[in-house]
Every structure is written in structure tokens, then in C-alpha cells.
Amino acid sequence: MKISNQLENREVPLCVICKENPAREGMKTCSKECSKACKKAYYKTDKYKAYQKAYYKAYQKTDKYKEKFELTNKIVLSTFGMLSRGKGMEYAIKSLPVLVKKYPNLIYLIIGETHPGASYQDGIKYRGELEDLVKKLKLQNNVKFVKKYLSLSELVEYLLATDIYMFTNLEKAQISSGTLTYALGCGKAIVATPIIYAEEILSGERGVLVRFKDPSSFSRGVDKILSNKKLKENLEKNAYFFSRQMIWSNVAYSYLKIFNKVVQLRKEITEKFPKIKLSHLKKITDSFGIIQFSSYNVPDKKSGYTLDDNARALIVSVLHDKLFNSEESQELSKIYLNFIENVQEIDGNFKNQHKNKEEFTNPYSEDAFGRALWALGYVINKSEKDYLRIKARNIFEKSFNYVSCINSPRAKAFSLSGLVYYYKKIPNEKVLIKIKELANDLVKLYEENSSRDWAWFEPSLTYSNAKLPKALLLAYDATGNKKYLGIAEKSLKFLTDLCIINEKLYPIGQNGWCNRRERRAFFDQQPVDASTMVHTYLVAYELTGKKDYYKKALIAFNWFLGYNHLNQMIYDEATGGCFDGLGKHSLNFNQGAESTVSYLMARIFLEELKINKE
């Protein structure tokens, strides 16, 4: 009751953060028995799970780490932590004879020093007993003791070399475990005794639970995983993906939300952005171009290449080089521009989807043509490298006449962007006429489709919607025609009202889009739409000076940083890539070209504005 009295006397609300379900349940029980103040203290912590840190490593295979520790071609089981009685490692060792008969290349690593908190001599004695047990069972070739205290990086490398992590603790009431959390964070298949924490964190097919002090149960659990490759892969992926909510960026955001409920520390929208990394962009790019899809963070070369992706990647690499004078982005720019040149037809159109350098699978796309023209105009306007500008100009001018053949509103908007970038660098009456022609086409669409409650160019909103008002903003910049500016701002406000709710971005979902007089779809949300909105708001801010547009750009960009309905990072700081989409209940953890380039484009446009301000 002493704590209860202290809570009663507080003048501010109090939030108690509990890391696991049992602690939260205990808090509920306590709150029933304590004062009203203690009830207030609970603050629905079951809604705000505060997980331990999981080591932030990209999902990856074991091969190179096994090679480092001379474990190539071995099936590696491991347990790590300070050795002391109660850890239950003897039962894991006793489970091995049956397993070794079936898997003779199996090795069990027991990693860690004797626990300093236990009686040191008793800990030494316990290790000796384990070593004696290994000899008794003739497992000297299958059990290895790593008798040292490892640094965090060493520990993670051992985990990444592991096929199955063995959690052997005997204390049922244990409600937290750093070793389990790290194994989960590294995407390991786990066999564990059913302590309270393991029961919670390994539910949902994230691990296999076995009985306490039962070697045969351990044997069955390990064999169940090793004999079923698909099960092992599913356990690994489920563990890794579940643990993404434990990484510091997501945990920090969850804490901030809680703290802001109690006392406003700072706004959840941040202007502190991650460092720009091209690591994943380079990984998914080869000598021909950027590869379309990835399986998780591994490029899938069978998916081929698209003009769309290479055009957008060219914009990123050119602006990166302009801002940082980067040799790596110069090389990437050459690859992407060469791709565009290689796929151009005699009439100025471009082939879109390519299996490899010799084969294409889907000949043409108006949107792809428009994105290519946008990228080419951008290079001409922004690049400081003559060889890039000259090549881009030759390709652009060869395609200029084909602009009259396109009909898609978005293709016109993409093309209009490229024309404006070209015109701002190389004033040309013929180009200006084409800018006005395309802008007037968009104005006509707006006038035909808009009404008092529908300020839009079409009877539905689908993908890359913000490109339409952005094109008119750029047309206004080139021509000074205020009608373009007026329609751009009206349509952008309409889109904003639909997509920014309580200062959080909800891009139009792919599952149904948003049709006139119908409820809009919220899922799945795509990085390309968030990126498009960031750029459009920045263009609006630069042209009008209205600070609200900059604020909206930050809101849209923070979607990538966890300010979304799942409160999950869409940008992957470990790889430099971006997850492919945000669903109602989970992320799409693939990191393909479109999503990665979309994030980088939004990030680098913000960086350009920051540098220009300085």
C-alpha cells in the first residue's frame, strides 16, 4: 500500500510499461486491488508492448558464418549464456545420441563463461559435469564448448552460423530472456523449454516447445525441424519477421507514443532522418540494370528488369551524385541511363519489361514511357556530368515526338515533368508548346470529372495519384499560368483530405482503390504512393512558400519511419532497402526495386531541400 499511497499523491498521470504478457496480467490484478491511482497507472499497457532489443541483422543464410568458424557442412545447434545450474544444458546433451545417429554431422555449441553471479566454484563444477557427460556419451566430436565471454558482434555471428537454437532453461516462471530474443532477432529456428516468456514469444509457429528435463522431447523437437526443410524455413522467417517490432527504431517509437500520452516529449513526426545508404540499391543492380523483385533482401534475377524501375533509379543516382559527388552513384547512373538507351525503339518509344539483355517480355507501357522521359529530363536539368547530360538529351529528343501518342493521364503527368525539367535547362518553344498541351489535357480531365465533393481528374484514385497535381505545379513553374496552380492546389487538398488522417498518412490501398461515391480502400499501402506525396508536397512548398506543404511532406515521409497504422518501420536500416508494402496486419518483407527506389527518392529529395536551405 506504500506504493499505492505514493501513486495517489501524484499530480500527473502515470504509465507503467510491462515487457511481457504475464507482467501485464499481473499489473491488471494489482490495479484491481490497489487504489484508483494504481488503476490509472496501468494505462492499457497491453496495447503498447515494449519489447527487448533484438539485434538488427538482415535476414541471411548461415553459410559464410559457418565457414568462418570452420563449421562448413555441419548442422549447428547452439546455446549461449552464462553457465550455471538451472540452465538445463545436460538435458540437451542427453538428447544428442539419438540425433547423431541420424545426423552424424551435427554439432552442438555451448557458448559462454561460467556465471559470475552463481557460486563460481559451483559453476566450474557444473561445466565439468557437462564435459564428463559428453565423454560418457562419446559425443566429443559433436559437442564443443566455447569457453569465453563473447562480444555482441561475435555472439551474433555464432547465432548466424546456427541452424537451431536450443533454449534449455528450467525456471518456468521466467518472464524474460535476452538469449531467446537475440535468437529470434537473427531469424533462427528455436527449440525451447516452456518458460512463460517462450510460450508467449514462440507462439504462432515461431518455435518448437519441448518438455522440461526430457531429453527425448528435445530429440523429437530437433528432428521435427531438421527432417522438414519447409518447416525450418517457416520457423526462421516467422521468428525474424515477428522480431522486427523489437528493433530499437520500432521500440523507440512505441515508447515515444506512450510517453506522449503522459507528457508531451516531442512530436512523433521527426525531421531526424536515417543516413542515406545505397547498399541495397547496389545489391539489386547488375551491369544491365536494376532487378525488379527481391525475395526478402535477395535480388530475384528471374524477375527481370523494367524501364519503370531503371528510370526512377536514375533520378536517385543522379541527384545523389549532385549532392555528394559520389563515384558509386556515378557508376549507377551510367548503368541506368545505358539501360534506357538500350531499350529505346527507332520511333522513340521504349520496351518496358526485360528478362535479360536479349529478351523482353512485355513490350510497351505508356506509364513507363512517361517515367523514362521524366528521368531523362531530370538528368538534363540536374546532372553535372557532361557525358550523362549529352546522352540523356539525345535519347530525350529522339522520344520527343512520341509524346503525342500517349493517352494515359499518369503517362502525361510523368512526361510533363520531364518536359519541364528539360525546358528549365534548355528553353525551347516547341517544348513549351508541348508542356502547355499536356497541362491543358490534365485541366480538361479535371473539369470533366470534378464536382463540389470530388476535386479530381478521374472518377477514381488509384496509384501514384499525387503525380497529377505535381505535374500541374511544374507546368505552372514553366508557364506562370495560375490556372494550373489553382487546380494543382485544389486537387492536392482533395487528395490530402483523403490520405492524411489525424496527421498520419494512409495512402490509397490497392485492394479496391477509391472510387467516386464509394468507401476508399486502406490496404495494401505502397511505398511508391508515399514517396510520390513527399515529392509533390516539396514541389508545392518550393513554389508557394506555404509551410504547411513542408509539414505534410514530413508526415508523408514519416510513413516510412514507423508513423503508419502498424507503427512499423517500412525502411530497413540494416539493408538500406525498403519493404514492399504495408498490409492491414503485417508488412510485405520483400525489398524490391520499386519500394527501395521510392524510399530513396523521397529521402534524397528532402536532403536536397535541406542542403539548398543551408
pLDDT digits (tens, 9 = 90+) for 432-471: 999 999 999 999 999 999 999 999 999 999 999 999 999 9
pLDDT band at 17 (very low <50, low <70, confident <90, very high): low
For residues 377 and 396, is the Cβ–Cβ distance under 8 A?
yes
State mean pLDDT over 521-537.
97
Q: What's phi and psi for 106, nearest 5 deg?
A: -80, 140
Q: How far apart are CA 226 and CA 182, in angstroms?
A: 21
Q: Could you tell me the three cell numbers for 57?
A: 541483422
Q: Could you tell me the three cell numbers for 322?
A: 549532385
In sequence order, the 6+-apart residues with CB closer than 8 A to the CB of 179 are 79, 80, 81, 165, 167
State mean pLDDT over 89-99.
97
pLDDT digits (tens, 9 = 90+) for 262-281: 555 555 567 789 999 999 99
Q: Is the pLDDT of residue 611 over 50?
A: yes
According to DSSP, residue 246 is labeled G
Q: What is the pTM of this model?
A: 0.76
pLDDT of 247 reads 67
More confident residue, 96 or 33: 96
pLDDT of 3 reads 41
Q: Is the pLDDT of residue 8 over 70?
A: no
Q: Is the pLDDT of residue 74 over 80?
A: yes
Kindly give the residue spans of alpha helices, DSSP state H, lying in 343-365: none
Q: Is the pLDDT of residue 414 over 90?
A: yes
pLDDT of 61 reads 77
β-bridge pairing 298-306 and 581-582: unpaired
More confident residue, 317 or 57: 317
pLDDT digits (tens, 9 = 90+) for 153-174: 888 899 999 999 999 999 999 9
Q: For all residues of the chain together, what is the average pLDDT?
A: 88
pLDDT digits (tens, 9 = 90+) for 49-65: 333 444 445 567 788 99
Q: How far apart are CA 368 and CA 351, in angstroms?
A: 9
Task: Tell me the CA distances in angstroms from 413 to 202, 356, 538, one per residue in order.
Answer: 49, 29, 17
For residues 268 and 252, is the Cβ–Cβ distance under 8 A?
no
Q: How far apart are CA 418 and CA 397, in angstroms?
A: 11
For residues 215 and 166, is the Cβ–Cβ distance under 8 A?
no
